Every structure is written in structure tokens, then in C-alpha cells.
Amino acid sequence: MNVQFKKGVLDLCVLAVVAEGDCYGYELVKRISENIEIAEGTIYPLLRKFQNEGYCETYLTESSGGPPRKYYRLTVAGRRMRDQLIAEWTKFSKSVDTIITANKGGRSNG
């Protein structure tokens, strides 16, 4: 899969998933990778960034069969950012679709 496509998109994927239910990093890797491959080395720095920017808060819970999980919960600012990124993405992907389809059927070729 084209790595370039992912640039900037994983941010909004993470925010979108966490927005619908608190998640821990390891879980996010598994869940998102079902659709778009993502590595731990990508997720953890991202989550730290989000936390530094005030988009999410964390809390720990015990895990049966492993070290404690660090759950991430979106803040209000995080939700706002998620909405904004999704809007940008939607606009962008529509623009691309316009370009790759709107040229069908010929043009005056001035």
C-alpha cells in the first residue's frame, strides 16, 4: 500500500476511532491495521503528540495477561480537531475524485 497516501491521514483515523470509544495504543494498532496498516512506531509518538496538544487524556487500567493498558480519551479540543480533520479529509478526497473523474468525456481542448 502506498505509504504516501497515509501521510496525515493516520492522525484523523486515530482521532476518529478514539472518539467512538476509549482505546489503548496496542489496540489502536490492531484495529486500524484491519483497514490500513499502521505500526507501533507510528502510533505511540502520535498519541504522545495528541496528549501534548491537549487532544486527549489518559488513564491506566489493569490487564489480564500483560502490563497495564494506557487508555486514551478524547478531550473537547480533541473532538473539535477530529471534526475539523474529517471535514478537511472529506473535502480533499472529493476534490481528488472530481479530478480523476471530471475529466472523463472529453473537453474543448482549447
Residues that bind DNA (CB under 7 A): 3-4, 6-11, 24-27, 37-42, 44-49, 63-71
x/- track of binding to its own copies for residues 33-72 (CB under 8 A)? --xx------------------------------------
Contact present, 55 and 74 (Cβ < 8 Å): yes
Between CA 21 and CA 17 the distance in angstroms is 7
Please give the sequence-ordered ranges of beta strands (E in DSSP) within the chain, or none if there are none.
23-24, 56-61, 69-74
5 burial (CB, 10 Å; 0-12 / 13-18 / 19+) is exposed
What minimum distance in Å lies between the beta carbon of 34 and DNA? Answer: 14
List contacts with its own copies (CB under 8 A): 1-5, 7-9, 12-13, 16-17, 19-22, 32, 35-36, 85-86, 88-89, 92-93, 95-100, 103-107, 109
